[in-house]
């Protein structure tokens, strides 16, 4: 026999995959991912429990008045004012969603399809500004409309992003003018 035939005759086929070990690893990985997800969910619920002292969100009055400005876009969440990573999750304020904002003489109406709507009375508005981020969302400088408002004994920052970002400046100007007039009347 030739040496090539002898070498070919001595070779064995590759070992068969150990399916039991492979399935064991996959089941273990799936359980680990489920555990991490469950822990994240429990943390979210715990944060909501800690913020349970936050009063119910106000709803829009029956006759809020004529719309001064309207905007459609996204609601990116609310945080404790000045602490852009301290997300507020109580009463659905931590849920991101589409949003329709309407500014009237009565205040700011936030309608969120699929999430809880809320209303900020004019006398509770404190400031409007452009910013680059809020918990879980970072944009370019000035890419986020942040409205600071008082609810209960807390100041809250809520972040919005318009479908047309050029509207943000007009919103900041109008909101701050209305806030300054309200503070002057007090």
Distance CA 81, CA 19 (A): 54
Cite the beta strand spans of the chain per DSSP E: 67-80, 87-88, 97-104, 107-111, 118-121, 125-131, 133-134, 137-138, 144-151, 154-162
Per-residue pLDDT averaged across 162-167, rounded?
Answer: 88
Q: How confident is the model at residue 4 (pLDDT cuts 50, 70, 90)?
A: low
Closest to 40 measured CA to CA, from 79, 89, 92: 89
Does residue 147 sit in helix, strand or coil?
strand
Angle ∠(118,85,74) on CA atoms, nearest 5: 40
The counts of H helices and E strands in the chain are: 3, 10
Q: Please give the pLDDT value at position 67.
A: 87
Q: Beta 154-162 vs 137-138: how paired, if at all?
A: unpaired
Q: Please give the pLDDT value at position 104.
A: 92
| Whether the Cβ atoms of residue 135 and residue 47 lie closer than 8 Å to each other | no
Q: H-helix or E-strand containing 33?
A: helix 19-50
Checking if the pLDDT of 13 tops 60, the result is yes
Angle ∠(168,170,175) on CA atoms, nearest 5: 95
Q: Please give the pLDDT value at position 180.
A: 87
Distance CA 98, CA 85 (A): 21
List CB contacts of 58: < 8 A, sequence separation 6 or more. Answer: 118, 119, 120, 121
State the average pLDDT for the chain.
Answer: 85
Q: 72-81, 130-139, 165-174: which has the minimum mean pLDDT?
A: 130-139
Q: Please give the pLDDT value at position 73.
A: 93
């Amino acid at each position: 026999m030739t040496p090539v035939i002898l070498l070919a005759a001595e070779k064995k086929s590759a070992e068969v995959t150990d399916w039991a070990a492979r399935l064991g690893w996959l089941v273990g990985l799936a359980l680990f991912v489920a555990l991490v997800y469950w822990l994240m969910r429990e943390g979210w619920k715990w944060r909501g429990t800690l913020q349970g002292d936050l009063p119910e969100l106000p709803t829009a009055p029956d006759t809020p008045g004529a719309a001064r400005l309207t905007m459609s876009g996204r609601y990116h969440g609310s945080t404790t004012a000045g602490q852009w990573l301290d997300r507020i999750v109580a009463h659905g304020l931590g849920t991101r969603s589409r949003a329709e904002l309407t500014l009237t003489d009565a205040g700011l109406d936030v309608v969120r399809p699929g999430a809880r709507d809320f209303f900020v009375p004019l006398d509770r508005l404190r400031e409007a500004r452009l910013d680059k981020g809020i918990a879980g969302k970072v944009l370019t400088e000035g890419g986020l409309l942040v409205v600071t408002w008082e609810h209960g004994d807390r100041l809250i920052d809520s972040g919005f992003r318009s479908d047309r970002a050029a509207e943000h400046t007009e919103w900041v100007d109008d909101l701050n003018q209305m806030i300054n007039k309200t503070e002057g009347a007090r």
